[in-house]
């Protein structure tokens, strides 16, 4: 579980909110919060296609798994308030990764502590012995009390109810402070479950035949990557390079807080090989590869058991530098849109690529298209949009798209030709106050190929997700535009540029 950078190590187990000292159930929670709307509520910022809870705090995605026709999204959640604490696993399901139904809280704190981040898998062959020979769901999570330990829960009813394993913890704490965020997957060549765990500023790898009995196999990271903060929320999976199944690499994901390129929290990745016991990086020890150079993509996790074999993930769309100050009400925090992942060989080596999931096409509507010189382009409008553009820069020094524009404000998404970088500029995104350093410009290096820039933007009410050059360059940033800021403009500075553009409303 990710934690605020002003509190890099979780506090001892807190007393949970309840008059009697017991944990409140959802009925008591609803009685406390009440159904009445508040004058402070901010529906203009509620995402249209990204998931946000009905109310209260959310951070890391947990337990992402597909089972019996549903995608499950569990998430770090405080059912009792809009600040970090009293952590539980919230729960939502979707048939298509776009339309989400929020369900009752799945896992609540117990005598071992709060419920921190983890993963979920389908135990197809009942290796755990929990399901009487049938398949079922197993959640692997961190219990965070006075110490952090790894625990199990299982569900035989499609994740609607959960039973915590009587033998918890299955991986006791060995005497370290940061010991959390188990990610589990089945490794077919060795015929066992593999678990990755964030331990301080490195990753420990465990193996098990049955999800209950674990053996420490190896560790990675002491001399690799960025160590500007604590390591968190690992993931590990194999991907083909440019779709070639005969050429694959393993991708190790590690989130870090603080130390990100835009300040605060961020996520790095390593490429290499995994033999079922040890991950070996093929990069130089001091090489740092960032998944996303915007400020607001953290703790991503990939879905287990996706039926068509795609590798899909999503992340928490926030940053520990200001997550507690996000001005949304009655919820605080959201996820990104789900993304599909790949690897591509570039002139600088193999790199991770990301694109919005194909399922978003099903909720596009009201297509508007235009091509020509940017100086003659029309104005578009909307607050939940999918923008697809192909730019040819010509003599322009910079060019791109302004979204959420109006009243002297806008969020600018562009390309700086001389600097060869893609950027998001939110310095004039609106009048809402978040933190002193929230107004900022974030950029990522990107050399144009063939004098053109393919660009895709998901602009969804309170944030932008930007994918350039087939997903090789990605920037994710929260913004909080003023009411009525719904214009979309194309721009080119100090010269003109050509563009072909399509603008779609996103209407789940």
Residues with catalytic roles: 60
Sign of CA dihedral 274, 277, 280, 286: positive
* 506 neighbors 364 (Cβ within 8 angstroms): yes
Sign of CA dihedral 332, 141, 51, 266: positive
* 412 neighbors 466 (Cβ within 8 angstroms): no
| Residue given tokens 């050399």 in the structure block | 447
Sorted by sequence, the CB contacts under 8 Å of residue 21 that are 6+ apart come out as 15
* 123 neighbors 136 (Cβ within 8 angstroms): yes
Separation between Cα atoms, residue 487 and residue 383, nearest integer Å: 8
DSSP 222-244: TTSS--SSEEEEEEEEEEEETTE
Which residue pairs, CB below 8 angstroms and at least 24 apart, start in 171-179? Answer: 171/195, 171/197, 171/206, 171/214, 173/147, 173/148, 173/149, 176/200, 177/9, 177/148, 178/9, 178/148, 178/230, 178/231, 179/142, 179/147, 179/148, 179/149
By residue count, the chain amounts to 508
Q: Which two tokens stand for residue 430?
A: 């609106």
Q: Which two tokens stand for residue 140?
A: 């692997």
* 443 neighbors 263 (Cβ within 8 angstroms): no
Q: Which two tokens stand for residue 464?
A: 């932008």
Separation between Cα atoms, residue 88 and residue 142, nearest integer Å: 11
* 120 neighbors 74 (Cβ within 8 angstroms): yes
290 φ/ψ angles, rounded to the nearest 5 degrees: -95, 135
Question: What are residue 455's DSSP bridge partners?
Answer: 389, 468
Longest dimension (CA), the chain: 70
Cis peptide leading into 258, omega within 30 of 0? yes
Separation between Cα atoms, residue 318 and residue 160, nearest integer Å: 28
Q: Which two tokens stand for residue 117?
A: 């981040």
* 218: alpha, beta or left? (left if phi > 0; alpha if psi -120 to 50): beta
Separation between Cα atoms, residue 277 and residue 136, nearest integer Å: 26
Separation between Cα atoms, residue 74 and residue 118, nearest integer Å: 9
Separation between Cα atoms, residue 484 and residue 372, nearest integer Å: 28
């Amino acid at each position: 579980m990710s934690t605020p950078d002003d509190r890099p190590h979780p506090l001892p187990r807190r007393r949970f909110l309840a008059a009697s000292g017991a944990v409140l159930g959802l009925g008591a929670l609803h009685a406390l919060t009440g159904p009445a709307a508040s004058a402070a509520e901010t529906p203009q910022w509620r995402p249209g296609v990204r998931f946000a809870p009905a109310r209260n705090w959310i951070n890391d995605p947990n337990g992402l798994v597909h089972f019996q026709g549903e995608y499950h999204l569990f998430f770090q959640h405080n059912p009792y308030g809009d600040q970090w604490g009293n952590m539980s696993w919230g729960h939502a399901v979707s048939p298509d990764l776009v339309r989400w139904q929020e369900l009752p809280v799945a896992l609540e704190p117990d005598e071992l502590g709060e419920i921190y981040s983890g993963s979920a898998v389908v135990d197809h062959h009942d290796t755990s012995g929990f399901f009487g020979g049938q398949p079922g769901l197993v959640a692997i999570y961190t219990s965070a009390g006075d110490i952090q330990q790894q625990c199990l829960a299982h569900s035989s009813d499609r994740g609607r109810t959960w039973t915590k394993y009587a033998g918890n913890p299955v991986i006791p704490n060995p005497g370290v402070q940061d010991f959390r965020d188990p990610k589990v997957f089945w490794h077919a060549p060795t015929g066992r479950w593999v678990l990755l765990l964030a331990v301080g500023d490195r990753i420990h790898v465990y193996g098990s035949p049955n999800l209950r009995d674990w053996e420490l196999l190896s560790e990675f990271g002491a001399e690799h990557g960025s160590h500007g903060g604590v390591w968190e929320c690992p993931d590990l999976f194999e991907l083909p390079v440019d779709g070639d199944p005969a050429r694959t690499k393993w991708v190790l994901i590690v989130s870090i807080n603080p130390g990100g390129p835009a300040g605060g929290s961020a996520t790095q990745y390593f490429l290499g090989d995994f033999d079922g016991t040890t991950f070996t990086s093929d990069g130089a020890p001091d090489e740092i590869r960032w998944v996303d150079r915007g400020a607001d993509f953290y703790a991503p996790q990939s879905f287990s058991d996706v039926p068509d074999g795609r590798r899909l993930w999503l992340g928490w769309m926030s940053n520990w530098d200001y997550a507690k100050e996000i001005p949304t009400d009655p919820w605080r925090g959201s996820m990104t849109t789900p993304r599909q992942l790949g690897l591509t060989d570039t002139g600088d080596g193999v790199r991770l690529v990301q694109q919005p999931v194909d399922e978003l096409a099903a909720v596009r509507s009201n297509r508007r298209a235009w091509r020509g010189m940017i100086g003659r382009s029309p104005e578009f409008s909307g607050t939940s949009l999918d923008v697809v553009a192909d730019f040819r820069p010509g003599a322009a020094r910079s060019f791109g798209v302004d979204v959420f524009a109006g009243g002297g404000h806008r969020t600018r998404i562009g390309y700086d030709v001389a600097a060869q970088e893609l950027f998001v500029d939110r310095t004039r995104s609106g009048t809402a106050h978040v933190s002193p350093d929230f107004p900022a410009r974030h950029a990522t290096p990107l050399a144009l190929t063939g004098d053109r820039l393919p660009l895709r933007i998901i602009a969804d009410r309170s944030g932008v997700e930007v994918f350039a050059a087939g997903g090789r360059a990605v920037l994710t940033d929260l913004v909080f535009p003023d009411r009525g800021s719904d214009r979309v403009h194309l721009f080119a500075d100090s010269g003109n540029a050509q563009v072909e553009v399509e603008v779609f409303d996103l209407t789940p």
